[in-house]
Structure 1
Amino acid sequence: MLTNAVPTTLGPVIGAGQGHVRAFKGVPFAMARRFAKATPPLAWTGPRRCTDYGPYAPQPGQLDQPEESCLSLNIWTPVGADRPLPVLFFIHGGAFVTGGGADYDGTFLAARGPAVIVTINYRLGPLGFLQLHRHGLSEASNLAISDALAALDWVHANIANFGGDPDKVTLSGQSAGASMVIALATLPQAKGKFARALALSAPGRNIMSADHADHIARRVLAELEIEQDQGAIVSVPLPKLFAAVERVGRRIADETEAGTVFGPVLDGAVIPREPRDVFADGTLRDVELWLGSCRDEMVMFLKSTPPAAMIRATERNLRVAFGDAGWERLLACYRGSVRPDEDPYEALLSDAFWHRPMADLARSHAEAGGAVWLSRFDHRPALEPFLSQGPTHGADNACLWAHLPDFIDRPILKRKGGPMTPADIDVAARFQTSLLRFVTSGMPDVAQAWPRFEPHKESLAIFGQPFQVVPLNEGARSRLWAELSA
């Protein structure tokens, strides 16, 4: 059933009813020519039908999507709310090269909140993250970040018409999306447009230097053999452009700190400061923050073929930081304290690349006077790849977006959903409840069973069976990390 038209700054939109929720899909918030900054799309006068997902960003294996019109968002809002509702603004992950907002159906979360749920598209791979402004080929850097800012601006200006409270927007994202949330939260352009932030599985090194980003751009131009006619890159066919980027990525992955080619860049313009420094100096002390990760983050990347470059990068970084002797001490410690079902090498890399950087950010925010909660997801969903790999990267995200009692399909990533076990339902229900409490009140647990992370009491919530809260730094592993880092 179609909804009544809802006015926006660009023109009225019509959505579709899904039970007690209205859904507006494929709402344009911007348009962009290749390597140009996003601009507002052309306005319309008559009601625009927004009942189907819009095109998502071109990405490997799916390069038939239109470039200029991929910048759209999706909104789910409950029917009959008697007050403005909090808003969850979600940025998808996918290593900065895959994914889209259509992989996350917000119907269930919107009804359960009640809350307004927004998912967005942004440009991916070279179209969003190749930094060409130093070569005069782009009017701006960090185009994907600018896309997300444009979406946030649209939400701030329009979400009240959909029943949302523009003063209660939670920036949220998973994996690459979490990296973008951490960067976005620190930007002057975003100030006053969000109230709190949730970052799930943000990579430890989530900001790239401008020099390194420029090095990648030069390598791509050379690979395309257009150094003498660099302007030709705007008309290179997408398959050729993405193939060149893939070849360059394979060659230089081991030169990068995080083993990835793309990500937000400390360019001094769109991102003027290292995000973690902004959290540490107290600029964001009024922003409530939830940082989460999955217990076995690295399993997925170890089992990829070939193993992801971040595996080698993490070990290399540890050997540089602590020397070969320090690396061997760490590995011996993990082997000596291994769980029955644990790979000590994976556990060490997960701590180094994911868990410890998240804890460090929580510590910086807490010491600066901010309210922060830290969590780890230990539950193994009965859904591949988690059924065979355990609570690896994305396990929490699968439960967050589940429509209990079922996991949802992920059409862009071609992952099927399916029925949940009683354990899945129990853990997912608690996780969703905590998130919706956080979005509504700024606290994920109103009963204080999960206390905030404090400098004098570093609490870690474990989402599993049972749910529990434990001290963060206990045991031989933590003591050795402290000794080596002193």
Structure 2
Amino acid sequence: MLTNAVPTANGPVIGAKQGAVRTFKGVPFATARRFAKATPPPAWTEPRRCTGYGAFAPQPGHIEQADEESCLSLNIWTPAGVDRPLPVMVFIHGGAFVTGGGADYDGAFLAKHGPAVIVTINYRLGPLGFLQLHRHGLGEANNLALSDALAALDWVHANIANFGGDPDAITLSGQSAGASMVIALATLPQARGKFSRALALSAPGRTIMSADHADEVARRVLDELELARDPAAIRSVPLPKLFTAVERIGRRVADETESGIVFGPVLDGIVIAREPRDVFADGSLRDVPLWLGSCRDEMVMFLKSTPPAAMIRTTERQVRAAFGDAGWGRLLSYYRATARPDEDPYEALLSDAFWHRPMADLARLHAAAGGAVWLSRFDHRPALEPFLSQGPTHGADNACLWAHLPDFIDRPILKRRGGPMTPADIDVAARFQTSLLRFVTVGEPDVAEAWPRFELPQEPLAIFGQPFHVVPLNEGVRSRLWAELSASNNDKKIREAG
């Protein structure tokens, strides 16, 4: 059944009724030519039918279904029959900045049980969203994907009231690459006043690229395409050829970055003028409640990929560079000595170095600046592949977050099937969803007695497992050894500087 037409700044839209929820899919929030900044879509006057997901952003495996000029759309789920403005969650998908889309996340269950308005967005991916060409004669092409996300946020803030949402109660949320986008987006002056809270799940430790790295990636792509003397011609290169060129150079470039990935938001001095962590540290965002989460065994998925992801090698190199081979050896020895029976000590060390510790450091910065922040870890193994065989690895929390209890949902872009949940899945997912919806609604994920905000010196860490419980982050020999090695490294830097 179709909905009544809803007005927007661009024109009226018609959605569909999905039980007690109204859905509007494939709503255009912008349009963009290749390597140009997004602009508002052409206006329309007749009601536009928005009952199916829009075109995917071009990406490996989905080049044929993609439309690079019309992929900038969003999807809205809003409860029917609610007579008050509802809190809004805007979700930015992950996928290493090269894959994914809003169509992988059906927000009907969350919208109904909030009640809340749930929005998922598309943004340009891979070279179309992150290739920095403004120093090669294409003046607009910098941080385009982040600008896409900002345009989506602008659209939501301006239009969501017509869909039952409260524009003054918007939560920015994202997972993996999307979490990195959230952290960067939250610090932009252009985003101030357009969101109230932020949730970042499994944000990689180092995804803000340097301008020099971005220039080097652009140079190599142009060289691979034999366009060094005519960079503007990249605007007309067929998409398969462009993505093939990026894939050929990608692995070599990834090995040379701190994050082990090719693309990401860039500290370009224009769109992103400051390192996001510095903005959190100076208190500019102290009025923004922040929830930071990760999965216990983040790195398992990347270790088991074929070949293992570049971030494995780059993370080990960084730890060795920071603490020396002796420090690396001490860490690995401690992890082996304290490993659970089902734990890979090497994976656990890398997960702490690349995922858990950077999230904890950001929590400390925000807390020290006077901000409210909560830190969590997802320890539950969903009964769904790849988690059934790999444990609570990267994305386990996301699978439970978007579940339609008692079932996991299908993920069409990732080509993952859903399926029935076990009682344990339902128990943990229900707690996780309830915490998220409470955070979206009131700005804290739980009552203080059950899950205190992150503050020194206790540093509480919520564990989503069976049962849900809270532990001090800084307990145990692993944490103490990291602290000892970090202090020793800081002392060394001070002596060398003096």
Q: What TM-score results when the alignment is normalised by the length of structure 1?
A: 0.99
Kept in 1, the 8 Å contact 2:146–2:185? The answer is yes
- Secondary structure at the aligned position of 1:32 is classed as coil
Letter of the 1:169 counterpart: I
Specify the alignment match of 2:171 in structure 1: 170
- Secondary structure at the aligned position of 2:255 is classed as helix
Specify the alignment match of 2:459 in structure 1: 458
Quote how far apart the aligned CAs of 1:447 are. Answer: 5.4
- Secondary structure at the aligned position of 2:172 is classed as strand
**Distance in 1 separating the partners of 2:103 and 2:240:** 23
CA-to-partner distance for each residue in 1:228-275, whole Å, 9 max, x for gaps? 111110000111100110111122221111110000000011011000
Quote how far apart the aligned CAs of 1:77 are. Answer: 0.1
Specify the alignment match of 2:49 in structure 1: 49
Specify the alignment match of 2:180 in structure 1: 179
Quote how far apart the aligned CAs of 1:376 are. Answer: 0.1
Letter of the 2:178 counterpart: G
Letter of the 1:2 counterpart: L
Letter of the 1:59 counterpart: Q
Quote how far apart the aligned CAs of 1:140 are. Answer: 3.6
Matched ranges for 1:370-381 at <5 A: 370-381=371-382
Specify the alignment match of 1:63 in structure 2: 63
**Distance in 2 separating the partners of 1:132 and 1:403:** 42
**Distance in 2 separating the partners of 1:457 and 1:285:** 20
Kept in 2, the 8 Å contact 1:437–1:446? The answer is no
Specify the alignment match of 1:303 in structure 2: 304
Specify the alignment match of 2:24 in structure 1: 24
**Distance in 2 separating the partners of 1:311 and 1:132:** 28
Letter of the 2:423 counterpart: P
The share of aligned pairs that are identical, in percent, is: 85
**Distance in 2 separating the partners of 1:138 and 1:448:** 52
Kept in 1, the 8 Å contact 2:377–2:464? The answer is yes
**Distance in 2 separating the partners of 1:158 and 1:32:** 20
* 1:415 is aligned to 2:416: yes
Letter of the 2:38 counterpart: A
Specify the alignment match of 2:437 in structure 1: 436
Specify the alignment match of 1:405 in structure 2: 406
CA-to-partner distance for each residue in 1:376-408, whole Å, 9 max, x for gaps? 000000000000000000000000000000000
Kept in 1, the 8 Å contact 2:30–2:38? The answer is yes
Quote how far apart the aligned CAs of 1:474 are. Answer: 0.7
Letter of the 1:211 counterpart: D
Letter of the 2:484 counterpart: E
Letter of the 2:373 counterpart: V
Quote how far apart the aligned CAs of 1:448 are. Answer: 2.8
Letter of the 1:22 counterpart: R
CA-to-partner distance for each residue in 1:413-438, whole Å, 9 max, x for gaps? 10000000000000000000000000
Matched ranges for 1:184-333 at <5 A: 184-333=185-334
**Distance in 2 separating the partners of 1:22 and 1:482:** 50
Specify the alignment match of 1:36 in structure 2: 36
| Runs of 4+ that moved beyond 3 A | none
Letter of the 1:24 counterpart: F
* 1:161 is aligned to 2:150: no
Letter of the 2:73 counterpart: S
Letter of the 2:29 counterpart: F
- Secondary structure at the aligned position of 1:278 is classed as helix
Letter of the 1:319 counterpart: R
**Distance in 1 separating the partners of 2:88 and 2:315:** 36
* 1:335 is aligned to 2:336: yes
CA-to-partner distance for each residue in 1:131-175, whole Å, 9 max, x for gaps? 001111241410000000000000000000000000000000000
Kept in 1, the 8 Å contact 2:25–2:75? The answer is yes
- Secondary structure at the aligned position of 1:255 is classed as coil
Quote how far apart the aligned CAs of 1:296 are. Answer: 0.1
**Distance in 2 separating the partners of 1:250 and 1:359:** 29
**Distance in 2 separating the partners of 1:455 and 1:39:** 44
Q: What TM-score results when the alignment is normalised by the length of structure 2?
A: 0.97
Specify the alignment match of 1:13 in structure 2: 13
Letter of the 1:334 counterpart: Y
Kept in 2, the 8 Å contact 1:259–1:309? The answer is yes
- Secondary structure at the aligned position of 1:194 is classed as coil
Specify the alignment match of 2:491 in structure 1: none
- Secondary structure at the aligned position of 1:67 is classed as coil
Letter of the 1:25 counterpart: K
Q: 1:19 to 1:447 in 2, by over 3 A?
A: farther
User: Please, which runs of 5 or more residues in structure 1 have no aligned partner?
Assistant: none
Kept in 1, the 8 Å contact 2:175–2:203? The answer is yes
Specify the alignment match of 2:129 in structure 1: 128
**Distance in 2 separating the partners of 1:299 and 1:106:** 28
Quote how far apart the aligned CAs of 1:481 are. Answer: 0.2
CA-to-partner distance for each residue in 1:329-388, whole Å, 9 max, x for gaps? 100010010101100000000000000000000000000000000000000000000000
Specify the alignment match of 1:119 in structure 2: 120
Quote how far apart the aligned CAs of 1:456 are. Answer: 2.4
- Secondary structure at the aligned position of 1:429 is classed as helix
Matched ranges for 1:65-80 at <5 A: 65-80=66-81
Specify the alignment match of 2:97 in structure 1: 96
User: Please, which runs of 5 or more residues in structure 2 have no aligned partner?
Assistant: 488-498
Kept in 2, the 8 Å contact 1:23–1:74? The answer is yes
**Distance in 2 separating the partners of 1:140 and 1:250:** 23
CA-to-partner distance for each residue in 1:199-223, whole Å, 9 max, x for gaps? 0000000200011100100011001
Kept in 2, the 8 Å contact 1:35–1:138? The answer is no
CA-to-partner distance for each residue in 1:108-147, whole Å, 9 max, x for gaps? 0000000000000000000000000111124141000000
Specify the alignment match of 1:348 in structure 2: 349
Letter of the 1:448 counterpart: E
Letter of the 1:370 counterpart: G
Letter of the 1:55 counterpart: A
- Secondary structure at the aligned position of 1:227 is classed as coil
**Distance in 2 separating the partners of 1:207 and 1:174:** 16
